[in-house]
Structure 1
Amino acid sequence: MLKAVKFLFVGIVILFILVTAALFAITSLLDPNDYKPEIENAIQESTGFHININGAIDWSIYPWLGLELSEIQVNTTEGAPFTTLDNMQFRVALMSLVKMSPRADKLVIDGLQLNLEKDSKGVGNWEKLSDREALSANDEQDTEKTATETAKPNQEQDFDFTVSEIVLANINVNYTDKPAGRTIVLSPLNVTATDISTDSPIPVKIDFTLSDSQSGISTDGKLKTTVTLSKDLKRTELSPFSAKFALSGKPFGSETVNTAINTAITLDTAGQTLSVANMSLTLENLAAIIDLQISEIDKTPKINGSAKIVDFSLQKLLTNLGQKPIPTTDDKVLKKIAFSTSLKSPGNQISLPDIQLTLDDTVFKGNASIDQKTSRILARLDGNAIDIDRYSPPEQKEGTQEQARTTPSPDTTPGGTAPDDSLPIEMLKGLNFDLSANLQQLVAQNMTIQDIAIQTTAKNGIIKLNKAAGKLYKGDFLATADINVKAKKPTWKLHSEINRVELLPMLKDFRELTLLAGNLNFKADIASTGKNLTQLQNNADGTASFNIDKGALEGVNLQALACKGAAQLQGKKVDISQRPPLTSFNDMSGTVKINGRIISNPSLIASLAGIALGGHGQVNTADNTLEYGLDLKVVGELGDPNCEVNKYIKDIAIPVKCTGSIGGETSPDCGLDTTRMSDMVKQIARREATRKIDKAIDRKLGKWLNKKEKNQEGSTDSRADTEKQQEKEDKKEAVKGLIKGLFN
């Protein structure tokens, strides 16, 4: 038995030696270069690829099973070059294959030139490589099924292999998209990996240059990592992993932008986990740190981790990126921005439970979540204080302001649309959120607002501002809004209320105005339709009401104007230049009607010392002009001994007219309405004439009636004294009426 085994072993050795010798003889005696046409035809028949081998072919069998090819070209079916390869080498120890433990010396691919192109019809040249038709759907399914079934028995097997070195050198890829007018060039790409085996660290280095004609950006990249593969190839570690990129091109001006990534990555397909540990991302002076642990990656991934952006200056970052810093009123802002949060993903929801956002001196804290199925965002933020005026553009110089005032407006004709006033309707339709925010203090337009609370929602094209409330100059405000962008004509509705707001300090802070003082109460309901700002302004429709108590009009003394008007009506002159430009009142109220760009005030009522004030007028927001009329009815003393008001002037409304532009450097001009004053003079003259006629008639009629009574004293018809007197008065009035009719 032992002898038989011995002879069998010797026979196998002899057979192996003979086969090896035969292969050695073939490789030694036969030159594959003599069979290039046959090799090219065989490849084309089996794959459909058009291949030309222009260089030498070299092969070996023992001790290394190797193949070396040079100057290979693959063409499309139309004969256009698709790819060329300068040199390819591969060698594996023959005996390692026998032992089922492959040991390769090296794999080298050098000088690969790959040309990818989409023609004017959008067809890629890679679709024209083979004459053979693609596998049918059934064939593909059968192939996949067979591959799956074949792979099953090997899923638990370990892999034992060694490759001394893999080198990809001078790889060049050109991609041209003619319809898009875009070219992407990867040139060169170099990859090296050494000492490749399982359960051992594998050093890998990659460097490349990538340019994109569309973005105008060129990127030089360098990647370095150590890869560790488990024997069953189910666990892969890249630790450490580092990458550096240098970006240049038109978007960055003359600057070169540096960015880097440093991390450790572990992928475990058996445990279905992915770990990204302590990832550091840097972009010039911007640095972010991310840590992620992801499980159940083959299902709905569950995420736990954190993200942090370290304090950085946005202005410096923009400068480093070749951009201009953002112009701000305060040059100390946008220099401290930071962000941090933890990350959790239970099921389909990604949550950020502890957000902290820092913007200079302002800190927001809160939480947010995103539903991956519906894309709905929920967020709650609370902040301390922010002065947004610090972030506004600086004031223009006088010359620039004058140029801006004289530059024609881009607005089109009434009802038209300005070039840039369209509203983002489609974007609004896609919004899906529930947001709320609280802010302790906000400074905007130099006005201070406190205890701000905002709550808003959006879904299916319906956007609601459920609440915007806060405290404003010892008063408070509340606003709600509804926007519906689902319809062909989007609708916009606004309701606002202001209660007990002190006007004078607010207006002083807002525009250094001292026009009006008092406690304001205001309520408005406004609606509009449209897809751009011009339509919203033209279609605006609404009403408002207001009242101001314990107030004053600054810059005008209505009592003085009434005094001057009364004097003129009596043919007198009064100097009111020394009267203070102030009108105090106990209460002022009115209503407002909004119709397109016209805001009208049909009724204004105010109670002033000695005067009952009424008014009406309008503001045209298209050209920011005011036309307003006031009626000053003297009902009492005007507080000046020179303002004597006789009984004929009393209760007559003295007209005042205010006209001019608003919102500019000049204020509206207010003064006596001379046209209406002329009518008033005529009215008073008519009243005085009527008074004199009445007096004369009374005197004449009295004498005539008295004389008639004396002539009738002897009459037998006796009446009571009271009846006689009444009859006398009735006759007098009847006669007066007839006489007055002659003058009308």
Structure 2
Amino acid sequence: MKAFGKILGLFFLGLLLIVVALGFALTHLFDPNDYKDEIRQIARDKANLELALNGDIGWSLFPWLGLELHQTTLASAATPDKPFADLQMIGLSVRVLPLLRKEVQMSDIRIEGLNLTLSRDEKGRGNWEDIGRPAQASATTGKPAETQPAPQPTEPAEEKPAQPIKLDIDSLTVNNARIDYQDAKTGQQFSAEGIELTTGAIREGSSIPLKLSAFFGTNQPVIRARTELQGDLRFDRALKRYQLENAKLSGEVSGEPLQGKTLTFGAQGELLADLAAQIAEWNSLKLSANQLLGLGELKVRDLDKEPKLTGGLSIAQFNLREFLEGIGQTLPPMADGNALGKAELVARLNGTPTSLALEELNLKLDDSSFTGRIAIADFAKQALRIQLKGDRLDLDRYLPPKSKEAEGTSAARKTEVKETVASAGQSGTTPLPKAPTQQAWSEEPVLPLEQLRKLDIEATLSLAQLTLNKLPIENATLKTKGKGGLLNLEDMRGNLYNGTFEAKGQLDVRQQVPQLSAQKRVARIPVEKLIQAQGEKPPVKGLLDMTADIKTSGNSQKAWVDTLNGNANFVLNDGVLVDANLEQQLCQGIATLNRKSLSGEPRGKDTPFEELKGNLVFRNGVANNPDLKARIPGLTVNGNGDVDLRVLGMDYRVGIVIEGDKSAMPDPACQVNERYVGLEWPLHCRGPLELGAKACRLDKDGMGKIAAKLAGDKISEKLEEKLGDKVSPELKDALKGLFKR
């Protein structure tokens, strides 16, 4: 038995020596380089591929089936002079015996200097699309072949599922590879160069270390990026499950969108793709972009249909201003140079290939906190959807500061007002102030028209406290929609100084000159607070009720005022005319008629009133007020005139009527007697709005008429006393009329 085993062993040893000898003979006596033409023809016929073997073919047969190709190019047989791939060298070898067991055991695979040049022509056809299709047989000119009978259908044999080939590769190395892509139709170009790939042993179910680095570039827009990816790859082809563990992606990117700046980025985590379940996950996500740091998790399902993204994202507090400036994004000028200094975010993610939503959002921006939802409903249309609720927002910090041109306009007007105030005096005996002439508004553009024309937005915002134009608005809500250049302010309301306001409006930027319209209503808002918020001294106090319906056009403060048209009505209750004593003005008129001089100082500098009301009609920036009325204890005030909003000036005719209150006036020179009751004492008010009633003076023409009337009444009384019943009533009336003319 031992002898039989020895003989069997010698037999197999001899067989192995014969196989080795045969392999040695084949590799040394058979040269594949002699068959290059045949190899090219096979590639042409079977794969429609033009194969150029410019270098030597090296090979080995046993126990490794090895192959080395040098200086090789590949092209479509349709365009043989336009290769789409070339390589300097590819080397690989595989054990022969494991192939019989459907196992691939390979040594190191090395690829050197691979270049892929891919392109699409103007019809969208790629230069690689014909590869792999067998060449069509050439047409024959002889007799047509006899028709063969159609084969009879047979019972299909029961197919067994193919067993996947077991892979066992020592390593894979790719050095100095490059990929170029160009689209003639769009002009777009893409390149990946300096591609370096190294792996450890590639075995199914085992952890495979890998490292990949490359430089990327595009021309629309011009972008350059350096990237490096490291991790441990694990895969199971039977389960269609692929994992990249301990993944680390890092790099830098620069180019036109970054305006010469550089973004340094990084991402880490555990990646999984389960093609059987059609899901992909990125767990334990850590990301960075310059100083921005974030954590999160991402999951994509329905990979074979329309992928759907879910997950979460948390971004730690960072300086948003510095981050944006660091990636070349120029911020518009803001009143507060430190605005956008702090930002942090926590949100759930939901998305599709065309949309992304931040749900359950918690956003902190500077001193403000918001909750709600922000979404891009359509990336292509930039459709923005916002639903936010916040605690407070000082919007003034983020608005543009006054331009030099606006400051110059404001300074010129303030100088004019200051000079007018200085010459106006306090007693009302000085000449009537001059009408202002300096423009009060800036011509700087306000609205970003191009961005607004592209805007697709639906937004709902509510804030516990909003500061706008220095006004502390409480419980503010805003709802707006905009699309195709037409923006609608559907509702804006809030509380202001214990009063309320509401507004609706529309902005149409579809044409070259923007059109604006608005409807407003305010109730019981202290008007002096509104004026003080603009840095002006209020000439009047009181609770304002107002409704307005206005239209305007243009894209600057000046244009909006110059083209302002519409109407409004207002009521000012429980008010005060500040630094304006109408009683003193009335005293001056009475003293003038009494031919006396005032001997004392006014008892007060203000004039309280119960109600001040009227209607306004706006025509190209000038508000006409035909029916001003005010109720002051003992007095009624009527007026009409214009408020020129272009220069913030006024020109009014005012009449003061003494009513039932006939108490003594504060100065003996202006004692009221019954002859003055019911007369309308005329005032003319002209000058900057800031002067208020201080811009009012006695109307000399009107005073002359009152004097003539009073003189006529006095003569009539004397005639009555002298004539008594001695003349007929007709003659008596004629004489009275003569003196009243």
Matched letter for residue 69 of structure 1: L
Q: CA deviation at 1:541?
A: 5.1
Matched letter for residue 518 of structure 1: G
Identity %: 25
- Which residue is equivalent to 1:384? 391
Q: CA deviation at 1:731?
A: 4.4
- Which residue is equivalent to 2:313? 307
Separation in 2 of the partners of 1:250 and 1:461?
Answer: 28
Change (3 A) 1:631 1:405: closer
- Which residue is equivalent to 2:194? 188
Separation in 2 of the partners of 1:506 and 1:531?
Answer: 24
* 2:113 is aligned with 1:89: no
8 Å CA contact 1:159, 1:198 repeated in 2: no
2:243 pairs, out of 237, 248, 267, with 237
Separation in 2 of the partners of 1:378 and 1:215?
Answer: 27
Matched letter for residue 225 of structure 1: G
Change (3 A) 1:291 1:97: same
Separation in 2 of the partners of 1:255 and 1:485?
Answer: 34
* 2:526 is aligned with 1:505: no
8 Å CA contact 1:273, 1:295 repeated in 2: yes
Q: CA deviation at 1:98?
A: 1.6
SS at match of 1:199: coil
* 2:284 is aligned with 1:278: yes
Change (3 A) 1:421 1:324: closer
TM-score with structure 2 setting the length:
0.75
Change (3 A) 1:153 1:303: farther
- Which residue is equivalent to 1:341? 347
SS at match of 1:511: coil
1:656 pairs, out of 680, 684, 690, with 684
Q: C-alpha offsets along residues 460-519 of structure 1, whole Å, 9 cap, x if unaligned?
A: 999765543322112222334577999999997644322222232343234243232111
Change (3 A) 1:578 1:91: farther
Q: CA deviation at 1:366?
A: 3.7
Q: CA deviation at 1:265?
A: 1.1
8 Å CA contact 2:453, 2:510 repeated in 1: no
1:468 pairs, out of 489, 492, 517, with 492
- Which residue is equivalent to 2:449? 422
Stretch of structure 1 that moved more, 77-86 or 304-313 = 77-86
Separation in 2 of the partners of 1:618 and 1:307?
Answer: 59
8 Å CA contact 1:473, 1:506 repeated in 2: no
Matched letter for residue 538 of structure 2: T
Q: CA deviation at 1:700?
A: 8.1
Q: C-alpha offsets along residues 509-550 of structure 1, whole Å, 9 cap, x if unaligned?
A: 342432321111222334679999999878765432221111
Q: CA deviation at 1:582?
A: 3.1
Separation in 2 of the partners of 1:575 and 1:176?
Answer: 96
Change (3 A) 1:93 1:210: same
SS at match of 2:529: helix
Separation in 1 of the partners of 2:120 and 2:668?
Answer: 95
- Which residue is equivalent to 2:295? 289
* 2:639 is aligned with 1:633: no
8 Å CA contact 2:454, 2:483 repeated in 1: no
Separation in 2 of the partners of 1:659 and 1:302?
Answer: 66
Pairs within 5 Å for 1:145-224: 154=161, 157-175=163-181, 183-224=189-230
Change (3 A) 1:689 1:58: same
SS at match of 2:449: coil
Stretch of structure 1 that moved more, 186-195 or 41-50 = 41-50
8 Å CA contact 1:569, 1:680 repeated in 2: no
TM-score with structure 1 setting the length:
0.75
1:605 pairs, out of 612, 617, 629, with 629
8 Å CA contact 2:600, 2:667 repeated in 1: no
8 Å CA contact 1:626, 1:658 repeated in 2: yes
Q: CA deviation at 1:279?
A: 0.6
- Which residue is equivalent to 2:4? none
* 2:709 is aligned with 1:687: yes
Q: C-alpha offsets along residues 418-450 of structure 1, whole Å, 9 cap, x if unaligned?
A: 79663766545x44x4x5443222223222122
8 Å CA contact 2:86, 2:114 repeated in 1: yes
Matched letter for residue 603 of structure 1: D
Q: CA deviation at 1:221?
A: 0.9
Q: CA deviation at 1:59?
A: 2.8
Q: C-alpha offsets along residues 71-127 of structure 1, whole Å, 9 cap, x if unaligned?
A: 2234673845544322222322222222210112233222123345567x5867737
- Which residue is equivalent to 1:65? 65
8 Å CA contact 1:260, 1:281 repeated in 2: yes
SS at match of 1:102: strand
SS at match of 2:201: strand
1:266 pairs, out of 265, 272, 278, with 272
- Which residue is equivalent to 1:551? 575
* 2:638 is aligned with 1:614: yes
- Which residue is equivalent to 1:113? 115
Separation in 2 of the partners of 1:49 and 1:389?
Answer: 68
Stretch of structure 1 that moved more, 462-471 or 693-702 = 693-702
8 Å CA contact 1:656, 1:673 repeated in 2: yes
Change (3 A) 1:565 1:21: farther
SS at match of 1:257: strand
8 Å CA contact 2:405, 2:444 repeated in 1: no
Q: Which runs of 5+ in 2 are unaligned?
A: 1-9, 137-155, 413-442
Separation in 1 of the partners of 2:57 and 2:601?
Answer: 111
Change (3 A) 1:257 1:151: farther
Change (3 A) 1:80 1:614: farther
Q: Which runs of 5+ in 1 are unaligned?
A: 1-9, 136-148, 407-415, 706-727
Separation in 2 of the partners of 1:470 and 1:418?
Answer: 28
Stretch of structure 1 that moved more, 550-559 or 563-572 = 563-572
Q: C-alpha offsets along residues 581-610 of structure 1, whole Å, 9 cap, x if unaligned?
A: 533222111122344544433322112355
Aligned length: 677
Separation in 2 of the partners of 1:350 and 1:113?
Answer: 37
Q: CA deviation at 1:615?
A: 2.9
Change (3 A) 1:368 1:115: closer
> Relative contact order (alpha carbons < 8 A, sep ≥ 6): 1 or 2 greater?
2
- Which residue is equivalent to 1:521? 545
Change (3 A) 1:262 1:180: same
8 Å CA contact 1:562, 1:632 repeated in 2: no
Separation in 2 of the partners of 1:205 and 1:55?
Answer: 30
Pairs within 5 Å for 1:577-592: 582-592=606-616
Change (3 A) 1:399 1:681: closer
Pairs within 5 Å for 1:722-737: 728-733=728-733
Separation in 2 of the partners of 1:561 and 1:333?
Answer: 51
8 Å CA contact 1:111, 1:171 repeated in 2: yes
Separation in 2 of the partners of 1:177 and 1:533?
Answer: 48
1:246 pairs, out of 227, 252, 256, with 252
Q: C-alpha offsets along residues 529-588 of structure 1, whole Å, 9 cap, x if unaligned?
A: 999999987876543222111112234444444444555667766699978653322211
Stretch of structure 1 that moved more, 365-374 or 84-93 = 365-374
Change (3 A) 1:158 1:308: same
- Which residue is equivalent to 1:126? 127
Separation in 2 of the partners of 1:150 and 1:370?
Answer: 54
